[in-house]
């Protein structure tokens, strides 16, 4: 991009400029490595000691950090969000020419503004909105719907009958709408102990402004739809089981596993490698730390953390039951200690 003046940035994104507004920048970089034609930001106090030595042309920061900044500043109450907006401006998504590549197979009528890359396969009765881009090797099953201005990177698979919203980004290798893990064990007859497959006749519904990471899998519902509400952000290698619901604007880090029919509230965050068991309910505004095993429903907002060693199941249940009463046991021990001290003093 052409260099941008700092006063142009403030005019568009807001904030308060302190210093030379005519200075131009081309890109964003870290405090430690930014040069004179780059802008940096200070959002985490942990990096404040790097501010005095920065060579950046300007820094986005909060008002309390201006005194330590040796260069031009843009003061914002939320430097990290400001940085995100500016990064989008400086690094626009590469465009693709509309049209269907000769090596793509398309069995539906698409708007002229849609771009379909080589090797893509689009089934019958598929509806795709204006400006959407389908990357090479993508497969979109019959009867699926994709909103406008959505981007499917290479080799995304969307099974039949799924619905994707507008402005959605799906990264390579993601699979939307594969069968949920639905099996019933045969209890009687010659086939006893065998597993019977349960047809998964629901779909997947993904709202607007969702982003789905590489190789993430979202299973279709058994009877009703799996639902990912608007604004949800899913990292790479996440497993979303059948009939799961993830509330709007929640964000899940890599390798999270969510078993079938779990319900996650709005604005939740889930750290990497966490596991949420099936049929549980997570309230709105819950933060689950990385590696946590959620084995019971969470009814109120807050941050939850926990791991436990692997044990034989009956022993695990017994120990976990005791763990839940540790606070009460601690109170009893303190009371006994007080009484014991009083008896020793009396004697």
In tens digits, the chain (347 residues) has pLDDT values of: 789 999 999 999 999 999 999 999 999 999 999 999 999 999 999 999 999 999 999 999 999 999 999 999 999 999 999 999 999 999 998 888 999 999 999 999 999 999 999 999 999 999 999 999 999 999 999 999 999 999 999 999 999 999 999 999 999 999 999 999 999 998 888 778 899 999 999 999 999 999 999 999 999 999 999 999 999 999 999 999 999 999 999 999 999 999 999 999 999 999 999 999 999 999 999 999 999 999 999 999 999 998 776 677 888 788 888 888 888 888 999 999 999 998 888 87
* Sign of the dihedral through C-alpha 278, 280, 282, 287: negative
Please provide the CATH number assigned to the domain covering 4-90: 3.40.1390.10
Work out the number of other CB atoms within 10 angstroms of the CB of residue 194: 12
Number of H helices, E strands in the chain: 4, 38
CA-closest candidate to residue 4, choices 35, 28, 32, 31: 28
Q: State the Cα–Cα distance between residues 202 and 177, nearest whole angstrom.
A: 9
Residue 232: both structure tokens together: 């949800």
Report the Cα 190 to chain-centroid distance in Å: 46
DSSP H or E stretch at residue 61: strand 58-61
Strands 175-178 and 169-170: unpaired
Please work out, in degrees rounded to the nearest 5, the angle formed at the alpha carbon of residue 125 by the alpha carbons of 123 and 131.
80
Work out the number of other CB atoms within 10 angstroms of the CB of residue 252: 26
Residue 131: both structure tokens together: 């400006």
Residues 221 and 202: beta-carbon distance below 8 Å: yes
In the sheet that 302-304 helps form, which strands lie side by side, from edge to edge? 99-100, 115-116, 133-134, 151-152, 169-170, 211-212, 233-234, 251-252, 269-270, 286-288, 302-304
Q: Give me the DSSP letters along 130-151.
A: TT-EE-TT-EE-TT-EE-TT-E
Give the pLDDT of residue 309: 65
CA-closest candidate to residue 222, choices 271, 184, 186, 264: 184
Q: State the Cα–Cα distance between residues 209 and 293, nearest whole angstrom.
A: 28
Query: For the range 136-141, what are the long-range contacts, defined as Cβ-Cβ under 8 Å and sequence gap of 24 or more?
Result: 141/177
Strands 163-164 and 204-206: parallel
* Sign of the dihedral through C-alpha 313, 273, 292, 176: negative
Q: Which residues are catalytic?
A: 242
Residues 109 and 127: beta-carbon distance below 8 Å: no
Alpha helices by DSSP H, the chain: 6-13, 79-90, 313-323, 326-346
Query: The pTM is what?
Result: 0.87
CA-closest candidate to residue 105, choices 141, 55, 76: 141
**Residue 239 three-state SS:** strand
Residues 172 and 216: beta-carbon distance below 8 Å: no
Domain boundaries, the chain: 4-90, 313-346
CA 179 → CA 70, 172, 302, distances in Å? 57, 19, 33
């Amino acid at each position: 991009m052409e260099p941008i003046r700092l006063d142009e940035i403030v005019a568009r994104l807001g904030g308060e400029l302190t210093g030379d507004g005519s200075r131009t920048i081309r890109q964003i970089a870290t405090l430690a490595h930014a040069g004179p034609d780059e802008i940096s930001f200070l959002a985490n106090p942990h990096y404040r000691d790097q501010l005095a030595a920065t060579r950046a042309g300007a820094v986005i920061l909060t008002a309390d950090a201006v005194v330590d900044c040796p260069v031009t500043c843009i003061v914002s109450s939320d430097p990290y969000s400001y940085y995100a907006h500016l990064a989008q401006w400086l690094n626009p998504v590469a465009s693709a020419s509309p049209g269907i590549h000769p090596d793509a197979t398309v069995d539906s009528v698409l708007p002229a503004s849609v771009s379909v890359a080589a090797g893509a396969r689009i089934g019958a009765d598929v509806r795709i909105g204006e400006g959407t881009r389908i990357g090479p090797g993508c497969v979109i099953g019959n009867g699926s719907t994709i909103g406008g201005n959505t981007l499917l990177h290479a080799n995304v698979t969307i099974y039949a009958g799924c619905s994707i919203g507008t402005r959605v980004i799906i990264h390579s290798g993601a699979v939307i709408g594969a069968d949920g893990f639905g099996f019933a064990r045969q209890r009687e007859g010659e086939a006893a102990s065998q597993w019977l497959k349960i047809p998964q006749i629901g779909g997947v519904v993904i709202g607007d402004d969702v982003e789905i990471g590489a190789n993430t899998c979202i299973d279709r519902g058994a009877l009703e739809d799996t639902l990912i509400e608007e604004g949800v952000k899913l990292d790479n290698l996440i497993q979303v089981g059948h009939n799961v619901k993830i509330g709007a604007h929640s964000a899940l880090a890599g390798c999270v596993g969510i078993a079938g029919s779990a319900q996650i509230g709005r604005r939740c965050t889930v750290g990497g490698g966490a596991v949420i068991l099936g049929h549980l309910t997570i309230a709105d505004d819950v933060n689950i730390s990385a590696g946590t095993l959620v084995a019971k429903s969470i009814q109120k907002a807050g941050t939850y953390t926990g791991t436990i060693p692997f044990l034989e199941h009956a022993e695990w249940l017994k120990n976990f039951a005791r763990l839940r009463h540790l606070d009460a046991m601690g109170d009893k021990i303190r009371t006994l200690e007080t009484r014991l001290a009083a008896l020793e003093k009396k004697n």
